[in-house]
Chain A
Amino acid sequence: MSNPPDRKYAATHEWVRSEADGTVTLGITHTAQEMLGDIVFVGDAKVGATLAAGETAAVVESVKAASDIYAPVAAEVIAFNAELEAEPQRLNEKPFDTWILRLRPANPADLAGLLDAAGYEAAVGAA
């Protein structure tokens, strides 16, 4: 599955997409869900917290392992996609159409420092 060009990526396998209201939505890539396997829990979302880039914002757990979701840029966590409480497997089925968190970046210009689709693919060696 190709990585959509309409968003930015972190080498830690998150994607972020800028929304019309100035916030960004965050999810995980196809490569990430494939590495995790069947996802059974998404939670511990730090809604309300102001995080530095690289801080843990939520956790995704598969049958096999737990994996942290990191804030790719300094941001306030403003929402968690509560649908994932009942249907965590959506992250396996439609990773690029399923957001996990909505963030308000402290400095929107920071987003420019993230990877584009080609840069992400080069960074993780995946298509």
Chain B
Amino acid sequence: MPRHTPLFDAHVALGARMVDFGGWEMPLHYGSQIDEHHQVRRHAGLFDVSHMLSLDLTGPRVTDFLRHLLANDVARLNRDGTALYTCMLNERGGVVDDLIVYRLDNLRYRLVVNAATAAGDENWIRSRNAAGTFDLEIAARRDLAMIAVQGPRAREVLTTIRPYTVNTVNGLGRFEVVELPWALVARTGYTGEDGFELTVPAGAATGLWNDLLQAGAKPCGLGARDTLRLEAGMNLYGTDMDDTVSPFECGLRWTVDLSPGRDFVGRMALEQAHPAAGQVGLRLLDKGVLRSHMRVRTASGEGTVTSGTFSPTLGFSIALARVPLEGSHPPMPGTSVEVEVRDKWLSAVIVKPPFVRNGKSLLVPPPACG
């Protein structure tokens, strides 16, 4: 049986086309995926992200535990109400999951993890504390729902439905979070636009969803979520990386804190590793659509597209790819490569992600092509 979020009936009532996603029956789109994509880039879109799991970790040594568990260093969260994007690695340096960790206070953190990996993550985290040395309480919060409101008008929508939060919301910096009586409000997202992720008790989800719709935000499905995150140069777990891929091979080196003096799971493997491949962005110059698993031919060998799509904002196809390094780095932006699309080798050029931020293309004009 597929699992349903508390907003399932609301999606069906809105005419959503539902699909399986990691065991959850979720909206793919509510009519047009491209319209929903543009809605988020230009106005405000709503996403049900209740399939993701909130894991609350509490205890006197919770900070020490997370500094051991996670590849980024939660000690960077030097005050309550701040958040960090990080990988959780296995001993081989492979990515068990990528997640956002919120410091609610210095004894209490929340990890928001991917839906498909949630059960495995919880077991993994519990196993890291099997000896009980960290004196932790770990709570999987399936009693909660999460709604993302994203886009240039997200702030306006949020302060319209909850006018008394205007000062709080306006004071919230990027990757900051605040606990209000009605919701946990985080200024985070997965679209490359400004926006908020709101976590509420499951029973309050439909009311909040309807309020946000009434304030002008449009419902958006997983289809638009995927094209938005790819334009924003953000990885999708299970596609752009998995537990056999190190953060160095999937463009996430920036999330790994190798400052001396902290022993985290996977560190030794990362320090001894000699990665042979790295992540690049691709722009297709010929007509067609790049898709995952397509072969990429570069001067230093063959790589693979990990995520590809047609970019609604840019009007051509883009992709993330893992390609062989040239020396210690992947090929530079501007380098020509070829991608095998349906038995033909098409021309593409390496670009530096993100492709789009805050509604605007970040790509320099392309080289002339014949």
Contacts and interface: CB of A to CB of B under 8 A. Distances in A.
A37 B309 CA distance: 13
Contacts of A64: 28, 33, 223
A65 B17 CA distance: 15
Given A61-B310, A63-B227, A63-B310, A37 B291 contact: no
A120 to B, nearest CB: 21
A66 B310 CA distance: 11
A64 B224 CA distance: 10
B33 A63 contact: yes
Contact of A43 (B227, B287, B291, B310): B287
A40 interface: yes
B349 to A, nearest CB: 19
Given A63-B33, A63-B227, 12 more contacts: A37-B33, A38-B33, A40-B310, A41-B287, A41-B289, A43-B287, A44-B344, A59-B342, A61-B288, A61-B310, A64-B223, A85-B287
Interface of B: 17, 28-29, 32-34, 223, 227, 287-289, 291, 309-310, 312, 342, 344
Interface residues of A, number: 12
Interface in A8-64: 37-38, 40-41, 43-44, 59, 61, 63-64
A85 B227 CA distance: 21
A66 B223 contact: no
Nearest to A44: B342
Interface string A64-94: 1010000000000000000001000000000
Contacts of B310: 40-41, 61, 63
A40 B29 contact: no
A85 B342 CA distance: 18
Contacts of B342: 44, 59, 66
Contacts of A85: 287
B32 A66 contact: no
Contacts of A59: 342
8 contacts: A37-B17, A38-B34, A41-B289, A43-B288, A61-B288, A63-B33, A63-B227, A66-B289
Contacts of B29: 37
Kindly name the residue among A37, A64, A66, A85 whose own CB sees the greatest number of chain B CB atoms within 10 A. Answer: A64
Interface in A90-118: none
A43 B286 CA distance: 12
B32 A38 contact: yes
A61 to B, nearest CB: 5
Nearest to B224: A63
Contacts of A43: 287-288
Nearest to B291: A66
A79 B267 CA distance: 59
Kindly name the residue among A38, A41, A43, A44 whose own CB sees the greatest number of chain B CB atoms within 10 A. Answer: A38
Contacts of A44: 342, 344
Contacts of B288: 41, 43, 61
A63 B287 contact: no
A66 B32 CA distance: 17
Contacts of A66: 289, 291, 342
Given A37-B29, A38-B33, A44-B342, A63 B312 contact: yes
B236 to A, nearest CB: 14
A59 B289 CA distance: 11
Contact of B223 (A40, A61, A63): A63
B33 A61 contact: no
A109 to B, nearest CB: 32
Kindly name the residue among B28, B34, B227, B309 whose own CB sees the greatest number of chain A CB atoms within 10 A. Answer: B34
A85 B32 CA distance: 20
A28 to B, nearest CB: 17
Contacts of B289: 40-41, 61, 66
B92 to A, nearest CB: 33
B232 to A, nearest CB: 16
A40 B109 CA distance: 43
A41 B315 CA distance: 11
A43 B344 CA distance: 13
Given A59-B342, A63-B34, A37 B223 contact: yes
A46 to B, nearest CB: 12
Nearest to A43: B287
6 closest cross-chain pairs (CB), A and B: A40-B310, A38-B34, A61-B289, A38-B33, A63-B33, A63-B310
Nearest to A41: B289
A38 B17 CA distance: 13
Contacts of B32: 37-38
Nearest to B32: A38
